[in-house]
Chain A
Amino acid sequence: MISTNNLTKKFGDFTAVDQLSLSVNEGEILCLLGANGAGKSTTINMLLNFINPSSGSATINNLDVVKNPIKTKEYITYIPENLMLYPSLSAIENLDYFSGIAGKQLPSADLEGFLRDAGLQEEAFHKRISTFSKGMRQKVGIAIALAKDTKVLLLDEPTSGLDPKASNEFGNLLQKLRKKGVAILMATHDLFRAKEVATHIGIMKDGQLRQQFIAEDISLAQLEKAYLETMEYKEVLS
């Protein structure tokens, strides 16, 4: 569903993403680990066609994102690190608006259902977003994914700044979506959460995918060790 082929992005002399090839199939969650500047967010930005790749290609549902910038976005839901919605609109209004401009016209009963499925408390449905916490806003984001009947979910540091309980709830939501056949790509620093939710884990460094694991095959301790080794490798090199 998500796939990149030798995807490369250069900013002047600096190579942010270096010949990255990865793929995420339906019902899979790939967690990309890596330090700041490893190229995780740049990869997501290229998948969204927010920036053009310098070379290589990225496809969503076998469609090239550069050639089909609008069509590919029909399949995607993106939740940035700090998901911001319209503060003067309520949760259900935000959901209605975003799914509406994405081309899904839904009755409000359905919209409420999606918010419920996303785990938002009933009494918050009609409250303005300006009163929401980050976790609550993310639930609205998930509700947008549900409403769009999304095939691809792109997440950028979704759990940073969440308390452990909220983070756990969020993990459970992702599992639900995975089971519905959504392909999820998530960039994170959070090794623990990655181990918890991912089906596949990749470690990025200097724009390259240095290591790849199947989540089931590796323990948290092993993952941490592998991560630190990959990071140190750079220190040795430089």
Chain B
Amino acid sequence: MLRYNFIYELRLLLRSRWIQLLSLLLLLLFGFSVFNGMGKVEKRRDDIAAARKEVSASDQAMLKLLDSVERGLDVSVSPWTIPSSPMAVANYYPRVAAMDPQPMAFASTGQADLFTHYVKPTASGDDFSLNFTEMTSPVQLLFGSFDLAFVIVYLLPLLIIAFTYNILSSEKESGSLRLLASQPISIQKWVFHKLILRFFWLSLLVTVSLLLVFFIMGIDPLHWNAVFSLLGLTLCYMLFWFALAFLVNLLSNSSAKNAVSLLGLWVVFVLLVPSVLNQLGNTLYPMPPRTLMINEMRLQKAEATKQQDKILDNYLRDHPEYAINDSTQSRSFWHGYMASQKLVKEALAPIVGSYEEQLSKQQDWTRKMQWISPAIIAQESLNSLAGTSTQDYEAYRKQVVQFAELWRAHFMPFLFNNTLFTTNDHDALPQFQYQPLQQNGGIQAMSILLLMALVLLGLGFAMQSAPRQKGILSDQ
């Protein structure tokens, strides 16, 4: 039977122009979304490159200034920005801490439109003054991006629904079901064959058109592992929707009913479950209001400012090496500032930690609950494949905060030993290198999706008695 279904399904699909329509639609959707994604990634790369270029230009200027200072020449810049002062370097010559895009970043915007991809931490200011959100029109954030992930997670299931909702019911409605059912075959198997064949053709179309789009757009260099992960995820996600269509096709016998049921399921899985889970996550692990953090931070800072001299004394007591090495013992604004900054940071750590803790609890909750909706699984794994998931930006933030710490620490000996910053010290300045999160290639997500699909298919076959199915043959 499979052989005949295979030959004739293709002919039927070609003659009804389904294959042609789907190819065109897929090429258009994939093309447009990949084009958008590539544009964003390119802009991100350019922005980072420009920032790096600017830093290296300002470094050249700094070296020139240093050179002049060291040769005892006059320089025409504001006195507190002369780079022989270590704090001037620490504040006016920051490094770029950039999050370079991952090879598949174009596939999913994820949180990329919300967060910034490079910051320049300075010694002054604190970790909270590092604003990690990007300057974007909130309207854009609200509407989201037409990216490949959107096409896969939202639109592909709709195409599948349109492609499969009436496999059995159309036979009934056109009248060919009675002849079909009088053949020595099992109808369940027949529907299964049809669906698997349609799945096969759609998979082929998706694969070919995706690869074609990648090829034309010149994803370069091709990261085959990532491309295969993307394809594997997409196909598993598609299989889930085909399995759902299988069940609905067997359960109900009118095309309109099937379409409405499948669409209802789409609304539930793609729109409702994620938003309800998000709401529940927020209710279960609520973020303490940020206004509270602001108030707390202000009080702590006010306190620190009042006690600045005492704090500095305490700090020096903890770090006797500074007292020994420095012969001048001269103390400026920066000495007190840096010492109290450290104290404020430690005092605020529990509050700041509570946000991270709640966020990671929410993430755990999402991970635990994601099997309720395959759309969440697909979206989250695409995000992490693209390196644009919440976790990626969290990792980036942590690395930047660490780097800022390193940056400050680098200048502390200069400051407290009252040594000048020289040309030779330039090369030793700490550099930031983003370490992307390890990727598991979405194996787990794929297995969950596959399992879901298999359970649904098994359910379809388990309804062997299927009284309804006979019902669709008895009434005329």
Contact = CB atoms under 8 A, between A and B. Distances in A.
Contacts of B470: 49-52
Contacts of B354: none
Chain A CB within 10 Å — which of B3, B184, B474 has the most? B184
B474 A93 contact: no
A70 B186 contact: yes
A114 B1 CA distance: 21
B22 to A, nearest CB: 17
A89 B11 contact: yes
For the complex of A and B, 5 pairs with smallest distance between CB atoms: A84-B175, A100-B4, A78-B182, A50-B473, A73-B184
Contacts of B476: 41
Nearest to B473: A50
A150 B33 CA distance: 55
A227 B473 CA distance: 29
Contact of A70 (B4, B7, B11, B185): B185
Question: Dominant SS at the B interface?
Answer: helix
A124 to B, nearest CB: 18
B325 interface: no
Contacts of A78: 178-179, 182
A48 interface: yes
A213 B182 CA distance: 29
B15 interface: yes
Nearest to B2: A101
Interface string B189-205: 01000000000000000
A88 B183 contact: no
B15 A88 contact: yes
Contacts of A105: 3
Interface in B1-42: 1, 3-5, 7-8, 11-12, 15-16
Given A71-B184, A98-B183, A102-B184, 11 more contacts: A45-B473, A50-B178, A70-B184, A80-B175, A83-B175, A83-B179, A84-B179, A98-B179, A100-B4, A101-B180, A101-B183
26 contacts: A45-B473, A48-B182, A48-B473, A49-B470, A51-B470, A51-B474, A70-B184, A70-B185, A73-B182, A73-B185, A77-B182, A78-B178, A78-B182, A80-B175, A80-B179, A84-B179, A86-B12, A89-B11, A96-B4, A97-B4, A98-B179, A101-B180, A101-B183, A101-B185, A103-B184, A144-B179
B179 to A, nearest CB: 6
B50 interface: no
Interface residues of B, number: 27
Interface in A64-84: 70-74, 76-80, 82-84
A93 B12 CA distance: 11
A87 interface: yes
A186 interface: no
Given A88-B12, A93-B11, A97-B4, A50 B175 contact: no
Contacts of A50: 178, 181, 470, 473-474
Contacts of A73: 182-185
A102 B7 CA distance: 15
A90 to B, nearest CB: 10
Nearest to B16: A88
Contact of A102 (B5, B174, B183): B183
Nearest to A85: B176
B184 A89 contact: no
Interface size class of A (residues with CB under 8 A): 35 or more
Chain A CB within 10 Å — which of B176, B178, B179 has the most? B179
Given A45-B474, A50-B470, A82-B175, A97 B8 contact: yes
A141 interface: yes
B179 A93 contact: no
Contact of B12 (A45, A89, A96, A100): A89
Contacts of B5: 101
Chain A CB within 10 Å — which of B4, B16, B182, B190 has the most? B182
B81 to A, nearest CB: 78
Nearest to B178: A80
A100 B3 contact: yes
B60 to A, nearest CB: 72
Nearest to B467: A52
Given A78-B179, A141-B179, A101 B190 contact: yes
Nearest to A87: B174
Nearest to A82: B175
Nearest to B174: A84
A147 to B, nearest CB: 12
Interface string A33-65: 000000001000100111110000000000000
Contacts of B190: 101
A50 B16 CA distance: 29
Contacts of A72: 184
A52 B470 CA distance: 8
Interface in B335-353: none
Contacts of A141: 179
Contacts of A71: 184
B212 to A, nearest CB: 28
A159 to B, nearest CB: 17
A96 B11 CA distance: 13
